[in-house]
Amino acid sequence: MAAFEHRIPVMFQHCDPAGIVFYPRYFEMINATVETFFAEAVGWSFGQMHVAERVGVPAGKMETDFHAPSRLGDVLDWRLTVQRIGGASLDLEIAASAEGEPRLTARVTLILVDLDHMTSRRWPEPRRSILETYKEE
């Protein structure tokens, strides 16, 4: 099983006046990790998906556990693994840590959607095969 790894430094824009990550900003970082995963690991950028192929991957469900605060200047190490691949759905676990300390764990269900008809669509080959390589055993 391969995990996709991505780093995001905590910047001033992510923080509240106390200097810790304001929790909605984590969801932006989760989305950035997903978008980078599709571009770099799957070879299917959001530009290609949304503009050329008219499909998207909105979140159908997200559950997040926050373990410890992140502060301005921290570097978050994000780890994404595929938990399950359905016909049109994809369950991911996305975790962030800083210097080995867990900061959050999110369980996300994405749905492959036809953007013109707003209906679900099966994962195409070879995309499904690539996603399988990131599946946690």
Domains and CATH numbers, the chain: 4-132 (3.10.129.10)
Round to whole Å and give the CA distance between 20 and 15. Answer: 5
Q: What is the pLDDT of residue 136?
A: 84
Whole-number CA gyration radius for the chain: 15
* Coil/strand/helix, residue 29: helix
Residue 93, CB-side half-sphere exposure with 13 Å CA sphere = 13
Q: Which residues contact 52 (CB under 8 A, 6 or more apart)?
A: none
In whole angstroms, what separates CA 118 from the centre of its chain? 21
Q: What is the pLDDT of residue 130?
A: 96
Q: What is the pLDDT of residue 1?
A: 65
The per-residue pLDDT string of the chain (137 residues; one tens digit each, 9 = 90 and over) reads 689 999 999 999 999 999 999 999 999 999 999 999 999 999 999 999 999 999 999 999 999 999 999 999 999 999 999 999 999 999 999 999 999 999 999 999 999 999 999 999 999 999 999 999 999 87
Round to whole Å and give the CA distance between 74 and 32. Answer: 17
